[in-house]
Amino acid sequence: MREYDFIIVGSGAGGLSAALHAAEHGKVCILTKRTAAESNSSWAQGGIACVQSEGDSIEQHVSDTLVAGAGLCKEEAVRTIVTEGPQRIEEVINWGVHFDQREAKDGHLEFDLTREGGHTKRRVLHARDATGKELTEKLIAAVKANANIEILENHFAIDLITTAKLGFVSEDRVLGLYVLDEISGEVAAFRSDRVILATGGCGRVYLYTTNPSIATGDGVAMAWRAGAAISNMEFIQFHPTCLYHPQKRSFLITEAMRGEGARLIGKDGKDFMPKYDKRGTLAPRDVVARAIDTEIKRTGGPCVYLDISHKPREFVLEHFPNIYEACLSVGLDITKERIPVVPAAHYQCGGVLTDVNGATSIRGLCAVGEVGCTGLHGANRLASNSLLECLVISARAVKHMMQKLPLGRPVAQIYDIPAWKTGNAVDVDELVVIYHNWDEIRRLMWDYVSIVRTSKRLQRAAARLRNLKREVQEFYWNFKVTSELLELRNLVETASLIVECAIRRHESRGLHYTLDYPVLDESRPPADTVVRRY
Ligand code: FAD
Ligand code: SIN
């Protein structure tokens, strides 16, 4: 059994920055299910929203976040994250991260801030159109250079071990995790009194998504099974502009392109956004994604278009070199042609319910980044606020743990943690069943639980997911665990939570839009949807 002062699950922006903070206090283990570089964070394009210019203010950033969040943001969380942002940006720069700069009028260098939907000011720090790659590469280098951090790749966290799971009825606290070594196939218990979930989101629950394959909702599913409170899972953000091309299905076209003047048009070449919102193409994402969905259904076309071809070629190449190359690789020259785009599942605004320190309802367990629900995003996330949240909450989580669970009095040791039992489980003999169920979940979520919902479709999805859950559970008990099986188990759990939360919300708010309750419920104060297993 391995033992650490801190165990961090996930090597995205949240996990890496938590590890660097935790390593100041003790021994840290990062568990990550693929290579360290595979994460949503490393795919981030647009940048990190943070007040940096004189013409901007904390109040303005807070206000833009609250407006986008459609009445459900927790103002304390918004204010804390926005206020502590500049300090965290300084920190990542010290860890080696470089953001684009430009020469100001008086000749000194300043950040080249870009703009995205819902922001009333330019405040998005970026590294060309590949901010996430720059951020994670530098953070991974800092982690690897730190003697207090061990990073274990191909290690899949299966489930949390808690006092409640072991049958103790006193205070519920975390004791560690069961972890699959994907190379050897062995499962071992890892002990720690301080566990940070930084497992990211669940975009892969949907057929069409901007997310890489790691985004299977593992953290939410694990926390749910352990009895933690889960909140607001109905608010799944669909990014308005994912490239529509058969050879590149999950490729995002950054919103910063609209911030730099790209037009969103129908196949007739007309800008349709003013019809839907006076903020036009820079309205918040929920509004733009719904407008595109309506246009696609109205015209019967498979997609709409984003057009930046009116901008000088040099401008496009300088600002969007990666997108240019990626599109060119499938025969599309964005300096000359319009880009076919469709909305796709992008971000999980809900998650494991936490306070503004990332603390969950289980002692010793924090959730940071996309897996957590601090209240920053409310019913709809403001663009580029998520990397900011990763950096601020990871630092706060470590500080909070050091205050509440100081090192030197290990609790996990006094509990006898049972070894993982394989029982009579045999090797999976029919992978086809796993793949079939996986496809079915993603298709049904896309068809029944996407941008526009109805109560009937949600009920249908719930019924089908109940059956799928039973099948997957049988598989889980009868066969030796593999990462495919574990991801399927988490996927069906997360999908069910999205549906359950969506069914409970009898109104349309932010990203949750249903034809059966098409307006806000103003008869009572806005409330989170909170669900717990026990
Ligand atoms: P992730 O970066 O997703 O990391 C999760 C980690 O957990 C991964 O290492 C994964 O392998 C690991 N993991 C998961 N489950 C397990 C398990 N069971 N066991 C072990 N390891 C596990 N946000 C912005 O603010 N600005 C942007 O410009 C931006 N652009 C984006 C572009 C794209 C294409 C995408 C997909 C998202 C973008 N976002 C952006 C959102 C943002 O990238 C994510 O919300 C954020 O990076 C999440 O970071 P994280 O650390 O919480 O999780
Ligand atoms: C983008 O670059 O459009 C993505 C930004 C985000 O999701 O915050």
Residue 355 has pLDDT above 80, yes or no: yes
Mean pLDDT of the chain: 96
Ligand 1 nearest atom to the CA of residue 201, by list position = 3
Which one of 2.60.40.1890, 1.20.58.100, 3.20.20.140, 1.20.210.10 gives the CATH number of domain 431-520? Answer: 1.20.58.100
Average pLDDT over residues 240-263: 95
Residues marked as catalytic: 285
Least confident of 123-132, 168-177, 203-212, 223-232: 168-177
Give the mutation target among 239, 253, 322 for probing the ligand 2 site: most ligand atoms within 8 A of CB. Answer: 239
**Whole-number pLDDT of residue 315:** 97
Q: Where are the domains of the chain?
A: 2-234+349-414, 240-344, 431-520
- The pLDDT tens digits for 35-65 are 999 999 999 999 999 999 999 999 999 999 9
Average pLDDT over residues 137-144: 98
Average pLDDT over residues 512-534: 96
pLDDT band, very low/low/confident/very high, at 323 (cuts 50, 70, 90)? very high
Average pLDDT over residues 5-23: 98
Average pLDDT over residues 339-361: 98
| CA gap 49, 64 in Å, rounded | 11
Please list, residue by residue across 203-234, b when 16 or more beta carbons sit within 10 angstroms of its beta carbon and e when fewer do. Answer: bbbbbbbbbbebbbbbbbbbbbbbbbbbbbbb
Average pLDDT over residues 315-343: 97
Q: Kindly report the protein residue whose alpha carbon is nearest to atom 12 of ligand 1.
A: 10
Residue 521 has pLDDT above 90, yes or no: yes
- The pLDDT tens digits for 92-112 are 999 999 999 999 989 999 999
Ligand 2 nearest atom to the CA of residue 45, by list position = 2
**Whole-number pLDDT of residue 429:** 76
Q: Kindly report the protein residue whose alpha carbon is nearest to atom 25 of ligand 1.
A: 384
Residue 526 has pLDDT above 90, yes or no: yes
Average pLDDT over residues 154-171: 93
Ligand 2 nearest atom to the CA of residue 387, by list position = 8
> Following DSSP, what letter does each residue of 377-445 receive, concatenated?
STTSPPTT-HHHHHHHHHHHHHHHHHHHS-TT--SGGGS-PPPP--TT-B--S-HHHHHHHHHHHHHHH
Fold assignment, 240-344: Flavocytochrome C3; Chain A, domain 1 (3.90.700)
Q: How many other C-beta atoms can be found within 10 angstroms of the C-beta atom of residue 93?
A: 13
Q: Where do we find the tokens 């574990």?
A: 486
**Whole-number pLDDT of residue 409:** 76
| CA gap 174, 195 in Å, rounded | 7
Average pLDDT over residues 295-303: 92
**Ligand that comes closest to the CA of residue 201:** 1
Question: How far does residue 84's CA lie from ligand 2's centre (Å)?
Answer: 21
Classify residue 79 as left (phi > 0), alpha (psi -120 to 50) or beta.
alpha
Fold assignment, 2-234+349-414: FAD/NAD(P)-binding domain (3.50.50)
124 lines ligand 1 (CB under 6 A): no
**Whole-number pLDDT of residue 506:** 98
Question: How far does residue 201's CA lie from ligand 1's centre (Å)?
Answer: 6
Q: Residue 501 belongs to what H/E stretch?
A: helix 483-504
